[in-house]
Structure 1
Amino acid sequence: MIRPLSGPASGRDVPSRRLLLSTQLVFNVGFYAIVPFLALHMSRNLALAGWMVGLVLGVRTFSQQGMFFIGGSLAERYGCRTLILCGCVVRIAGYLCFAVADSAAAMLLGACLTGVGGALFSPCLEALAARIDAQSPADDRRRSIFAQFAVYGEVGAVAGPLLGSLLFDIGFAWMALASAGVFLLALLVLWRRLPPLKPAARVPGGWGWSELFANRPFLLFMLFYSSYLLSYNQMYLGLPVELERSHGGARDMAWLFALASVLVVACQMPLAALCKRWPPRLPLVAGFALLAAAFVNLALWTAVAPLPGAWRLLPAVLTVVLLTAGQMCAVPVAMALVPAYARQRLLPVHYGALASAGGLMVLLGNMLLGRLFAAIPAEPEAGVLAWSVAAVFPALSALYFAFARQGMPRAA
């Protein structure tokens, strides 16, 4: 019986911090060069119904986040290097599918492939980050690698939408090909630089699922944390609806994503250092309360006429600021809590399950919210209901983290 991929490991078992953070940056450039514009492409260029747009985006997220559980389990069997490289190949295939897609069915196929690609490599990156964090000296551990992950990811998220906005007017196919090219470059670099990362042996008890499902505190944490992904996914589904209401376009979308990225780059590390001084419960409650406030903000604005000039973007800007602040408070703390919930065992499986719960929440939630958002162009008052429903999910999570007493680790 051999040790599963879990907590402490030798330096040869993990890549360098620099390689892992650079990978996060490059992956986000390729991702954000196309994904923020999928809703605009499907509604404007392909003339798909609102519920179909929501379904495609939900399927993309679910096939990634929902399949993280499988990706984490496969990483325990075959090693993180294999899963990361295979994930790059599958995601490249998905972007190539987007490049030639001219129907809802083709967009669904591309969405599935890009999502599955992420499901293969993302749990591995998170598990390796946790292992690097566990090996780091005390001084380095004060610089949370998950906060650094967010910063590097957002630098990529600045470049990605700007690249995509430049190519959007030329043609969606060029955006898809550019994203595929970014992941091809990453594949070649990782093929040469990523260490073997082979698992020591077979996981005790098969895939590790029985141990995970017996961990009731983690299951509750996973359930209520999953509303984060649904909330942040409204940057792709709900925000384009608000921009259409306020007569915005693709370039406005790019600048809003750039704003979110600049906020993370400027504020994530200081905020993470502040949150480390608090019990984990406090930043989680604050983060989910801010996510709920982001949607309450739009519920208040959507029933009135858009403001004149550049002020028309004010509701969207406020929502992006609140969503980003909520993310910066909650996500690094939640990610750092997973090894404590998992007792330093089966980390890819636990990170995968956490993301899978979020993916399922997005799939179901986007189908509901997509129908509600579809009514807004014809009846702006319908936005009050749509955004209020969106606010309920993170508000319930904030209440859970505020009052939960059993099983939550006292420190990340």
Structure 2
Amino acid sequence: MSDPGHGDRHTVAVVVAVQAAISLGYFAAMTHLVVHLRENLGLAAGLIGLVLALRNLVQHTLSLPVGALVDALNPVRAGILACLLRAAGFALLGSVSSPSGLIAAAVLLGTGGALFHPAAQSLLAGLAERRRARGYAAYTMTSQAAAVLGPALGLALLNIGYWLVALTAAGLWACAAFLFSLLRHVPSVPTRGGVVTGVRTAMRNRIFLWFAAVSMPTMLLTDQASVVVPLGGADPGAVTVFSCVLAMVSAAVQPWCAAAGRAERPGTLRAGLLFAGGAYLLLAAGAAGRPAGLIAVAVLHGLADGLLQPAVFQTLARLAPPARFGTYLGVRTFFSGLLAFAGGLAVGRLYEWGPRGAATALTALALIACAAAAATRPRTGQKVHGELGAASQGTTDPEPMVGAISQSDLCSRPR
């Protein structure tokens, strides 16, 4: 008989290796993309915001059906296809200059991302509980370590040309597709019904919907951190320092967050949201104009990222039945992605209005973070935490909670 522990270790090793390759390529290319679009191609802030937001829109809109498809098919095959699509997207990104070409690259990148995240995280969510927590910590720490090295790699290659940065990213994603193919004996969990049935099951889980609503702004808040700093006029060197500090702090927080079930506590999500809100308030106050201020902003964003990522994953892994993790992740990502798309467009437009518009955008982001943090009230959050076990045992339509926050309460944003 095969050793299940050995299979779990092999799965973690391969998924972490995949994460190292794709994250190195992603951060090398994406950290300097805004500078490339602004300086090399001469695009306006609004068009830059459109390209970036379109990638988010495609990725997170497709997450709704794709997450369920990963459950119904095979996460390994989905992961291979995801890596190949993103490799093509990065290759195109470095070789085109027209808006239509950039939009095509954004669509490829978004489609690949929609497949990759439920595929990789479904593999980790299927592990034993302790191995899952440690595996996800290694997965995210690897991403943050690559986020430290990636911008520096991109900056070195940028001296030759952004085309080489993008081509290197494409090669690393192609290597990740090969690594995925090494997972040949991943146990499958049978599912009942098809894609529509899976999505309907998730949408009837009211505890899950509450969590999806409360955590919906996290994607917008983490995505815009790497956008507003270069849009505010930071040069490539400052952007690299910002990204590296953010990644190092996030990687340092991950082991603490993974230990003793901290990631599933409501206070972890709330603290991450408040750190993100504080970072945007510092930016609105002009902190990015001073090196010490920019580093302080990076530290706060690093704390936010290091808390929010494991909080979302571990809670989803506990809420979702084993055969439906991809579906639950897809539904939650769909709503979060819609907010990230709308917010990204709004931020790009506001930055075109000059300093006053930029301050308005940053203040709005801070207020969104604070509103979401206020929604994770200890009383309500503790009740959700106490009922997670029932949800993970297959309860698909739990009773509504007293005092739960509605989705509309969290979506209202000051303009």
> What runs of 5+ residues in structure 2 fail to find an aligned partner?
390-415
Deviates more, 1:25-34 or 1:257-266: 257-266
Residue 327 of structure 1 aligns with which residue?
305
Q: What letter corresponds to residue 127 of structure 2 in structure 1?
A: I
Compute the displacement of 1:278 (Å).
Answer: 8.4
Residue 383 of structure 1 aligns with which residue?
358
Write the distance in 2 (CA, Å) between the matches of 1:221 and 1:240. Answer: 32
Q: What letter corresponds to residue 122 of structure 2 in structure 1?
A: A
Compute the displacement of 1:43 (Å).
Answer: 1.3
Compute the displacement of 1:148 (Å).
Answer: 2.2
- TM-score normalised by structure 1 residue count: 0.86
Write the distance in 1 (CA, Å) between the matches of 2:300 and 2:317. Answer: 28
Residue 95 of structure 1 aligns with which residue?
90
Q: Give 1:340's match in structure 2, choosing from 298, 318, 335.
A: 318
Q: Give 1:395's match in structure 2, choosing from 362, 370, 381.
A: 370
Q: What letter corresponds to residue 185 of structure 1 in structure 2?
A: C
Residues 275-333 of structure 1 deviation map (CA, whole Å, 9 limit, x = unaligned)? x358711111111111111111111226xxx75xxxx2233222211111012223212
Q: What CA RMSD, in Å, does the superposition of the two structures yield over aligned residues? A: 2.4
Write the distance in 1 (CA, Å) between the matches of 2:263 and 2:372. Answer: 19
Instruction: Confirm or deny: 8 A CA contact 1:286 1:398 kept in the other structure.
Output: yes
Residue 346 of structure 2 aligns with which residue?
368
Higher RCO, 1 vs 2 (CA within 8 Å, ≥6 residues apart): 1
Sequence identity, in percent? 23
Residues 24-75 of structure 1 deviation map (CA, whole Å, 9 limit, x = unaligned)? 1111011111112121111111111211111111111222233222221111
Residue 5 of structure 1 aligns with which residue?
none
Shift in CA distance, 358/11, structure 1 to aligned 2, threshold 3 Å: farther
Residue 3 of structure 1 aligns with which residue?
none
Residues 177-206 of structure 1 deviation map (CA, whole Å, 9 limit, x = unaligned)? 111111122222332x11254745553254
- TM-score normalised by structure 2 residue count: 0.85
Q: Is 2:336 the partner of 1:358?
A: yes
Instruction: Please give the residue correspondences for 1:22-101 in structure 2 after superposition, counting only pairs within 5 Å.
Output: 22-101=17-96
Deviates more, 1:282-291 or 1:68-77: 68-77
Write the distance in 1 (CA, Å) between the matches of 2:191 and 2:263. Answer: 38
Q: Give 1:126's match in structure 2, choosing from 121, 124, 131.
A: 121
Instruction: Confirm or deny: 8 A CA contact 1:48 1:104 kept in the other structure.
Output: no
Compute the displacement of 1:383 (Å).
Answer: 3.0
Write the distance in 2 (CA, Å) between the matches of 1:68 and 1:25. Answer: 23
Compute the displacement of 1:264 (Å).
Answer: 2.5
Q: What letter corresponds to residue 76 of structure 2 in structure 1?
A: R
Instruction: Confirm or deny: 8 A CA contact 1:69 1:355 kept in the other structure.
Output: yes
Write the distance in 2 (CA, Å) between the matches of 1:394 and 1:66. Answer: 22
Q: What letter corresponds to residue 339 of structure 1 in structure 2?
A: A
Residues 121-171 of structure 1 deviation map (CA, whole Å, 9 limit, x = unaligned)? 21111111111243x4xxx56x53322222111111122111111112311
Write the distance in 2 (CA, Å) between the matches of 1:271 and 1:76. Answer: 27
Q: Give 1:408's match in structure 2, choosing from 384, 392, 400.
A: 384
Shift in CA distance, 133/322, structure 1 to aligned 2, threshold 3 Å: farther
Residues 243-262 of structure 1 deviation map (CA, whole Å, 9 limit, x = unaligned)? x1xxx311221221111222
Q: Give 1:209's match in structure 2, choosing from 196, 199, 219.
A: 199
Q: What letter corresponds to residue 316 of structure 1 in structure 2?
A: L
